Amino acid sequence: MGLFFNRFTREPKKEIDVNAPPKQGIALFFSVLLHEFWELIKLNLIFILFCLPVVTIPIAITAMSKVILLMLMDKPFFVFGEFIAAFKAEWKRATVAGLVFFLSLAAALYGVLVYAYIMESFFLHSCAIMLCIIFITAGFYLFPMLALLDIGLKGAFKNAALLVLLRLPYNFLTLLTVASLLLLILIFFPTSIMLVFLIFFALINLITTFCAYTGIKKFVIKEDQMT
């Protein structure tokens, strides 16, 4: 048990060149993906475990975002320890935010179905689809913001909505990447089920949190103020 527990809690070993400039942009993303690959696998397994009660999904997303943010900021971390700490610290805010977010998304999805098959309104159907896209994209920013900043829910939702508008090209690219990965999983199912359990959720969170992190740094808060 001790060996198993240590594999999930020990700090990842990294060879750091103190003279090397900090990586930015896409180089930062692939650096984290390469050097923290095993940590991402552990994070994915922990995330699935903590999502099993279903109602804890928003909290688990926030906790996973916290660990990913530490990777992106190149700060020391213990996967299991940081996940549990964020899970305990943010469960109230994340639960309320998740309830609002998922109910809004569900309402928009319901609108897509209603306006497509019942009312058969192309305009309203298109509006419902756009709302779905906006809500999903706002979610890219909402949960990392809860993990990163000591901010009220009203401010978190407001900032997430503004970042949807301010970073349209980045949001579109992120949404397209996530949708493509999901499509590949569905195409190759059930063969792809192993990837879902091993790394899929952590990889998706890395992609979306990377998008959120760069946006939050630029528009919401200075880097030296981040926790």
Residue range 164-200, pLDDT digits in tens = 999 999 999 999 999 999 999 999 998 999 999 999 9
Decide if 30 contacts 23 (C-beta within 8 A): no
Which DSSP category does 55 fall into? Answer: T
Which DSSP category does 10 fall into? Answer: S
- Phi, psi (degrees; rounded to nearest 5) at 15: -90, 115
Which DSSP category does 224 fall into? Answer: G
**For the whole model, what pTM was predicted?**
0.87
Q: Is the peptide bond before 190 cis (omega within 30 degrees of 0)?
A: yes
Render pLDDT for 133-149 as a digit per residue (tens, 0 to 9).
Answer: 999 999 999 999 999 99
- In terms of pLDDT, which residue wins out, 50 or 221? 50
Distance between start and end Cα atoms, the chain: 32
- Nearest of 65, 61, 169, 73 to residue 105 by alpha carbon: 61
CA–CA separation, 102 vs 60, rounded Å? 14
- Nearest of 44, 35, 42 to residue 8 by alpha carbon: 42
pLDDT confidence band for 115 (50 / 70 / 90): confident
CA–CA separation, 151 vs 93, rounded Å? 10
Residue bearing tokens 């320890």 = 81
Tokens at 107, concatenated = 């309402």
